[in-house]
C-alpha cells in the first residue's frame, strides 16, 4: 500500500502505527479520507519468508492483543474529524482472523457504517471467501477490498516478489468481491527486483490491463526501498534502483485507456529510496502525478523538459544488454 512518510509514528500498543488525512475522488467527488494503520501481530505470509519489497512487518508486534487493536482504532478515530472515506490498513490482511479477530473487524465495520463512510481494507486473496464477504457486507455495505496483485505474471509473482499466490488466486478473490457487490482495488507494483527498467514498465502496463477487468480502482505503487527487505539488500549492493519517475508517467499514460480510476502516490517519491529522477524534475512530476490521481485528468500528467529523460531512454533501450543490469550512477556520484 502507499504510505506517507510525513506521518507521525507511535510506539504504544494502544496507539495506531500512524494516521493521516488525505483526499480521494469517490464517485466523481473529491472527499476527505481518514487513513489509519493499525499495529497487529503481523502478516501471515511474513512467516513464510514474506515479499521481497515489503518491510511493513517491522511495524507489527507479537504482543498486540485484540483489545489493543480496538483501542488503537478508537483513539485514532477520535482525532480524525469529518471524513467520508475510511482506509484501515494493517501490516497484512484485515480478513485474516489470526491478525484481526472477527469482533475487532466487526467494530471497525460498525464504526464506518455509523460514520456513513466508505471503508477500504486490504487482504491477501486466500482470506476472501463468499461467506466472510457476506458477513462483512451484512454489517456495512459500502466496502472496497484492496488486493495486492502486484504483477499479472506468475513468474514475477513467484521469483521476483515471493508473493505466495498466483494471478488465478487473485482473480478468484476479486470475482468473489465483485459478485457480492463490493468494490475491488488492485495494487500494481512498478519495478519488482530482478527486472530491468523496461521489463518493469512492460510488466506494470500488462498488469494494469489485466487488473482493469475486475477492478474499480487501480493503485500503481512504485517500489520504495523498505528496511529489512531483500530489495534493500540488493539496493545496498548497487544491484537495484527504484523506478524512474519517467517510468511512472509512462505506465500512467498507457493505463488511461481502460477508463478505470487509477491512483498513484509514490512513497518516498523523489528520494533515493523511492521512485526518482535526477532531482531537478522530480517535484514537478510528483505534483503532476498527485494532480492526476485526484482528478483522473490525464492532461495533468506533466512531461517537463529535463536532460535526464535521455538517460532514462538509454537505460530503457540498453539495460537488457548489460550483464547484471546497470548500477545507479547518479546515486554513486551524488554520494562521492
Ligand atoms: Zn530530470
118-177 confidence digits (pLDDT tens) = 999 999 999 999 999 999 999 999 999 999 999 999 999 999 999 999 999 999 999 999
Interatomic CA distance for residues 86 and 16, integer angstroms: 14
**pTM here?**
0.93
How close is the Cα of 95 to the center of ligand 1, in Å? 42
How close is the Cα of 247 to the center of ligand 1, in Å? 12
How close is the Cα of 311 to the center of ligand 1, in Å? 9
How close is the Cα of 265 to the center of ligand 1, in Å? 19
How close is the Cα of 304 to the center of ligand 1, in Å? 8
Q: Is the pLDDT of residue 1 over 80?
A: no
Instruction: Find the length of the chain.
Output: 336
Cα 72 to its chain centre, rounded Å, is 22
- The fraction of the chain above a pLDDT of 90, given in percent, is 82
Q: Are 88 and 121 in contact, with CB atoms under 8 Å apart?
A: yes
- The three three-digit cell numbers of residue 318, written as one number: 540498453
**Angle formed by the axes of helices 167-179 and 130-139, nearest 10°:** 40
Closest-CA residue to 174 (of 208, 205, 130, 131): 130
3-state secondary structure of 71: helix
Q: How far is CA 22 from CA 86, 194, 293, in A?
A: 10, 33, 12
Cα 257 to its chain centre, rounded Å, is 21
User: Which one-letter DSSP state was computed for residue 83?
Assistant: -
Phi and psi (nearest 5°) for 171?
A: -60, -40
Q: What is the pLDDT of residues 71-108, one digit of tens each?
A: 999 999 999 999 999 999 998 999 999 999 999 999 99
Q: Is the pLDDT of residue 279 over 70?
A: yes
DSSP string, 193-214: TT--HHHHHHHHHHHHHHHHTT
Average pLDDT, the chain: 92
Q: Are 80 and 19 in contact, with CB atoms under 8 Å apart?
A: yes
Amino acid at each position: 500500500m502507499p504510505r506517507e512518510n510525513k506521518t507521525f509514528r507511535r510506539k504504544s500498543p494502544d496507539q495506531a502505527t500512524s494516521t493521516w488525512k488525505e483526499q480521494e475522488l469517490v464517485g466523481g467527488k473529491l472527499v476527505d479520507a481518514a487513513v489509519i494503520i493499525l499495529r497487529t501481530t503481523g502478516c501471515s505470509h511474513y512467516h513464510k519468508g514474506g515479499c521481497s519489497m515489503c518491510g511493513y512487518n517491522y511495524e507489527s508486534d507479537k504482543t498486540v492483543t485484540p483489545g489493543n487493536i480496538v483501542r488503537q482504532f478508537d483513539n485514532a478515530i477520535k482525532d480524525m474529524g469529518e471524513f467520508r472515506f475510511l482506509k484501515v490498513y494493517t501490516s497484512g490482511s484485515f480478513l485474516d482472523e489470526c491478525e484481526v479477530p472477527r469482533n475487532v473487524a466487526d467494530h471497525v465495520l460498525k464504526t464506518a457504517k455509523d460514520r456513513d463512510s466508505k471503508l477500504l481494507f486490504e487482504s491477501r486473496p486466500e482470506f476472501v471467501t463468499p461467506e466472510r464477504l457476506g458477513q462483512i457486507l451484512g454489517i456495512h455495505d459500502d466496502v472496497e477490498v484492496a488486493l495486492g496483485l502486484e504483477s499479472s505474471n506468475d513468474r514475477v509473482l513467484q521469483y521476483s516478489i515471493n508473493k505466495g499466490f498466483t494471478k488465478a488466486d487473485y482473480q478468484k478473490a476479486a470475482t468473489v468481491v465483485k459478485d457480492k457487490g463490493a468494490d475491488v482495488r488492485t495494487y500494481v507494483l512498478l519495478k519488482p527486483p530482478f527486472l530491468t527498467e523496461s521489463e518493469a514498465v512492460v510488466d506494470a502496463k500488462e498488469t494494469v490491463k489485466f487488473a482493469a477487468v475486475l477492478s474499480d480502482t487501480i493503485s500503481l505503487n512504485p517500489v520504495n526501498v523498505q528496511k529489512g527487505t531483500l530489495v534493500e539488500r540488493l539496493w545496498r549492493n548497487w544491484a537495484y534502483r527504484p523506478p524512474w519517475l519517467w517510468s511512472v508517467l509512462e505506465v500512467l499514460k498507457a493505463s488511461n485507456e481502460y477508463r478505470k480510476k487509477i491512483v498513484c502516490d509514490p512513497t518516498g517519491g523523489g528520494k533515493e529510496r523511492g521512485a526518482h529522477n535526477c532531482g531537478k524534475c522530480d517535484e514537478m512530476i510528483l505534483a503532476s502525478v498527485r494532480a492526476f490521481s485526484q482528478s483522473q485528468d490525464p492532461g495533468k500528467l506533466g512531461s517537463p523538459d529535463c536532460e535526464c529523460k535521455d538517460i532514462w531512454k538509454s537505460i530503457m533501450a540498453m539495460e537488457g544488454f548489460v550483464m547484471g543490469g546497470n548500477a545507479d550512477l547518479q546515486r554513486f556520484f551524488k554520494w562521492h
